[in-house]
């Protein structure tokens, strides 16, 4: 079904938390999107009426000044949004916009609840209600069918977003008993809240015991996405990289693996959304890299505009585990803003397909009735 041919105009959408790091990346992804047109950009009360460009460039300069020009490359404001000012939440609530993308901090999650009470559909990167059974926690290629009847669709932590893609084809072919994960996460995962320089510059900062509950959240998210009994051990660290998380994975499978080439082939074939033609869906969700010393965040976080996960170092030669590999996920695109947009595309495709099927069923029944 070609949705582009069925749309007379782009659907107007709103961005909640538009001035934050993930909100800014959402604006970049949506400004030229063929299906959705962002028209309301909501920020904090103190930012209402302020130039979006001014706020954007100010935040990027603060990050660059804090971490240094050699580490931090600024993200440029989209020219198509010149003249845009930041709106308040009432402007969004009183509009006729039905679809909202949210990247709020958890403490501000009540705004999402208000939108849901008003009948909106919310695609959210916020931790707020991420584990609520009434919300869908979705990685589009893995459990996209779970959002069919939901109006609050969450995407998981940036590490989990990549990990779920890597584990899904392995789980399908071999089954999973245990997964051990060690992360080396970029500082942009913290958003605009800047780390003290001595924690991350020239350093590795373990997140265990910190205010960031990343390790526990990843375990809980895996349980929700896979609904399975495999156990997981997670260790998370921050490293001095701007964008792209590097992750080591060790796996015990239920069924034997014959060769590393077999795993490579399994990962390369994984592409459940291939036939749908979703605008942000990567040509290949898992890109296998063969070069020694790869994948690396700087070289491998932008495959398919940041929507593909790069996998490498695949090995079955281990005395403890059946399989070892590493991957790089773009934490701001695939792991955050892009994951939310892809979920919205799949949700919209499902709705359009359901309407098309209902119309076809009605035509068939009418034809049968007429012929009788």
Q: Please give the positions annotated as active site.
A: 158, 245
Q: Which of 246, 313, 267, 248 is nearest to 174 (CA)?
A: 267
The tokens 């605008």 sit on which residue?
279
Q: Which of 296, 290, 246, 293 is nearest to 268 (CA)?
A: 290
What is the phi-psi region of residue 305: left when phi exceeds 0, alpha when psi lies from -120 to 50, beta otherwise?
left
DSSP string for 60-93? HHHHHHHH-TTT-PPPPPPGGGTT-BPBPHHHHH
Q: Which of 98, 104, 89, 95 is nearest to 36 (CA)?
A: 98
Q: Measure CA 296 to chain center.
A: 19
CB 27 within 8 A of CB 101: no
Query: In angstroms, rounded to a whole number, what is the distance separating the alpha carbons of residues 215 and 182?
Result: 10
| Helix H or strand E encompassing 367 | helix 338-371
| Helix H or strand E encompassing 143 | helix 140-143
Query: In angstroms, rounded to a whole number, what is the distance separating the alpha carbons of residues 164 and 167?
Result: 5
Query: In angstroms, rounded to a whole number, what is the distance separating the alpha carbons of residues 290 and 360?
Result: 47
Q: Sign of dihedral through CA atoms 65, 66, 72, 77?
A: negative
């Amino acid at each position: 079904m070609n949705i582009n041919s069925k749309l007379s105009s782009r659907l107007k959408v709103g961005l909640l938390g538009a001035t934050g790091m993930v909100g800014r990346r959402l604006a970049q992804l949506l400004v030229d999107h063929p299906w959705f047109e962002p028209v309301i950009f909501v920020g904090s009360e103190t930012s209402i009426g302020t130039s979006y460009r001014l706020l954007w460039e100010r935040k990027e300069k603060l990050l660059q000044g804090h971490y240094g020009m050699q580490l931090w490359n600024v993200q440029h404001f989209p020219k198509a949004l010149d003249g845009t000012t930041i709106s308040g939440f009432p402007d969004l609530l009183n509009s006729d916009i039905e679809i909202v993308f949210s990247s709020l901090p958890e403490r501000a999650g009540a705004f999402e609840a208000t939108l849901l009470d008003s009948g909106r559909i919310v695609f959210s990167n916020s931790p707020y209600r991420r584990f609520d059974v009434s919300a869908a926690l979705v990685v589009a290629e893995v459990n996209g069918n779970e959002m069919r009847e939901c109006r609050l669709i969450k995407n998981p932590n940036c590490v989990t977003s990549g990990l779920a893609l890597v584990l899904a084809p392995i789980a399908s072919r071999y089954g999973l008993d245990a997964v051990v994960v060690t992360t080396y996460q970029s500082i942009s995962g913290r958003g605009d809240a800047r780390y003290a320089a001595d924690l991350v510059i020239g350093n590795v900062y373990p997140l265990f015991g910190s205010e960031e509950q990343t390790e526990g959240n990843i375990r809980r998210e895996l349980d929700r996405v896979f609904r399975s009994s495999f156990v997981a051990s997670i260790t998370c660290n921050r490293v001095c990289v701007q964008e792209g998380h590097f992750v080591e994975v060790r796996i015990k499978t239920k069924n034997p693996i014959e060769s590393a080439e077999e795993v490579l082939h399994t990962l390369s074939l994984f592409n459940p959304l291939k036939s749908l033609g979703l605008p942000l869906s990567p040509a290949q969700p898992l890109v296998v890299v063969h070069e020694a010393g790869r994948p690396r965040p700087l070289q491998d976080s932008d495959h398919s505009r940041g929507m593909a996960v790069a996998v490498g170092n695949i090995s079955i030669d281990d005395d403890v585990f059946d399989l070892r590999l590493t991957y790089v996920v773009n934490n701001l695109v695939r792991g955050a803003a892009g994951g939310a947009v892809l979920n919205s595309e799949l949700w919209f495709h499902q709705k359009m397909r359901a309407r098309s099927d209902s119309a076809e069923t009605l035509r068939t029944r009418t034809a049968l009735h007429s012929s009788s």
